[in-house]
Amino acid sequence: MAETAEELRRSLSALRLERGTAKPPPRRPRWMIVAAGLAVVVVAVVGLRVVRGRTAVVEVGHASVPATGDAGAAVPVLSGAGYVVSADRYIAIGVRVAGRIDRYMVEEGDHVQQNDPLVQLDAREYEAAVRRAEANLEHARADAALKRAQLARAQPLATHGVISKDELDIRVAEAKTAEAAIGQAEASLAEARVALEYTTLRAPRRGVILAKLKEVGEIAVPGGFAGSGDLIRMANLDDLRGQVDVTESELAKVHMGQRAELVPDAYPDRHYAAHVIKLYPQVDRQKGTLRVEVQIEKPDDFLWPDMSARITFNEAMPAADGRPGVLVPRAALRGDSTAPFVWTIADGRVRRVPVGVGKDFGDQVQVTRGLDGGEAVVVGNPPELRDGQRVAISGGG
């Protein structure tokens, strides 16, 4: 049955929504808004503290106090590998007279003193020569005695005219000739005794035997080429030196009289005081180095010629306020020349410490105030640091 117009109008009216009748949404309480704001502030503060309290990773060096010796504090400025040498290099001992080698009284490595016997030649020929010279001397003395007696008898006879003046002059000449013959015989005997003494080779000074150059039974002759008469080679241990080649770029760090220290490779726990005594006058063009020698002040039996050693050259460090200064790595200094400082590390935090700067020693710099030595200091190129910031050491050192 069809709806009437009036019914249709009422149905449409029921479906219409009224604008002013919608229910407003519920409002949030004020305390929730305040709580949300406080939460934002707390998060911001915590985040800022995390950022400001982050742990920086740094490299660390150490401040040190140099060792103090008789000459005061010294800082190593240069070190190189070298050798122990004898001041006289090698002493070659040869024969003064020819002869067969009878025996050696020393072996390689033996330490000898001056005048110690080293080699004995066959001396029988020279002993015979001494006996012959002694006999000649006795003969000359007997002949001189006879001539003196004849002269004594001739003088009164010449006075009384028994013999002529010429005969007397002959007696005088014969007496003088006999006296001269005694002098010649004495010289010959001294020469024979010296030759006999030369059959025993003796050490010219204290040293160590390096080599025996001939064998027992061989004939040794004086002179010749290439030291053919040499029987013994030894080294002088009274004057041992260290020898090292220094590159041209490092020559400014070495000067005459400079203190040094020698440590043999064979005995790294033994340290020998030394000082520079020679700068060779010519640079090696091929290697670009200059040879430098240091005098070992107190050598002992642990040092041998040609043994390898490390030689360190030291530079004196002036005292600061009556005490030796402290050394820090150059990479630890911050700031400029007017306000230098270093970062020290203690209990995992850094502290900015103003310092006074003294003498420059290449990779190290003297600090005259601000540090006592032993402190850990930041080196290299660390991130931006703040006083009191927590840090971690690179590599866990």
Rounded Cα distance, 17 and 346, in Å: 78
Where b means 16+ CB within 10 Å and e means fewer, 369-390 reads ebbeeebbbbbeebeebeeebe
Q: Between 158 and 212, name the one with better pLDDT.
A: 212
From the options 3.40.50.11690, 2.40.50.100, 2.60.40.3080, 3.40.50.2300, give the CATH code of 88-118+199-238: 2.40.50.100
What is the C-alpha radius of gyration for the chain, rounded to an integer number of angstroms?
A: 51
DSSP 3-state assignment of 177?
Answer: helix
- What pLDDT shows up at residue 3? 55
For residue 320, pLDDT beyond 70: no
- What pLDDT shows up at residue 51? 42
Give residue-wise pLDDT tens across range 210-227.
899 899 999 888 875 555
Q: Which fold has domain 56-70+320-396?
A: 2.40.420
CA angle 96–100–104, rounded 5-degree value: 85
For residue 295, pLDDT beyond 90: yes
For residue 121, pLDDT beyond 90: yes
- What pLDDT shows up at residue 72? 56
CA angle 206–210–215, rounded 5-degree value: 115
Q: Between 202 and 238, name the one with better pLDDT.
A: 202
Q: Between 195 and 361, name the one with better pLDDT.
A: 195
Q: Give me the mean pLDDT over the 361-370 stretch.
A: 80
CB atoms within 10 A of CB 185: 21
User: Do 56-70+320-396 and 123-197 have matching folds?
Assistant: no
Give residue-wise pLDDT tens across range 96-105.
899 999 999 9
- What pLDDT shows up at residue 48? 42
Q: Is 391 within 8 Å of 380 (Cβ atoms)?
A: no
- Is 123-197 a domain of CATH 1.10.287.470? yes
Contacts of 301-305 with C-beta under 8 Å, sequence gap 24+, read 301/111, 301/237, 302/264, 302/266, 302/267, 302/270, 303/84, 303/237, 303/240, 303/264, 303/272, 304/84, 304/208, 305/84, 305/85, 305/86, 305/90, 305/208, 305/210, 305/235, 305/240
- What pLDDT shows up at residue 194? 95
Location of structure tokens 């929504």: 17
Q: Is 262 within 8 Å of 270 (Cβ atoms)?
A: no
Name which of 28-32, 64-68, 169-173, 223-227 the model is least confident about.
223-227
Rounded Cα distance, 155 and 172, in Å: 9
- What pLDDT shows up at residue 1? 46
For residue 397, pLDDT beyond 70: no
Kindly report the CATH number that applies to the domain delimited by 81-87+240-316.
2.40.30.170
In this prediction, what percent of the chain has a pLDDT beyond 90? 35
Q: Between 208 and 130, name the one with better pLDDT.
A: 130
Rounded Cα distance, 254 and 278, in Å: 11
Q: Where does residue 10 rank: exposed (0-12), middle (13-18), buried (19+ CB within 10 A)? A: exposed
Rounded Cα distance, 262 and 278, in Å: 15
Give residue-wise pLDDT tens across range 327-356.
888 888 888 878 889 899 888 888 998 988
Is the overall model pTM greater than 0.75, yes or no?
no
In this prediction, what percent of the chain has a pLDDT beyond 70? 81
Q: Is 378 within 8 Å of 332 (Cβ atoms)?
A: yes
What's the chain's average pLDDT? Answer: 83
Q: Where are the domains of the chain?
A: 56-70+320-396, 81-87+240-316, 88-118+199-238, 123-197
Name which of 44-53, 60-69, 179-188, 279-288 the model is least confident about.
44-53
For residue 299, pLDDT beyond 70: yes
- What pLDDT shows up at residue 236? 80
- What pLDDT shows up at residue 107? 93
Give residue-wise pLDDT tens across range 71-114.
556 788 889 999 999 877 778 888 889 999 999 999 998 889 99
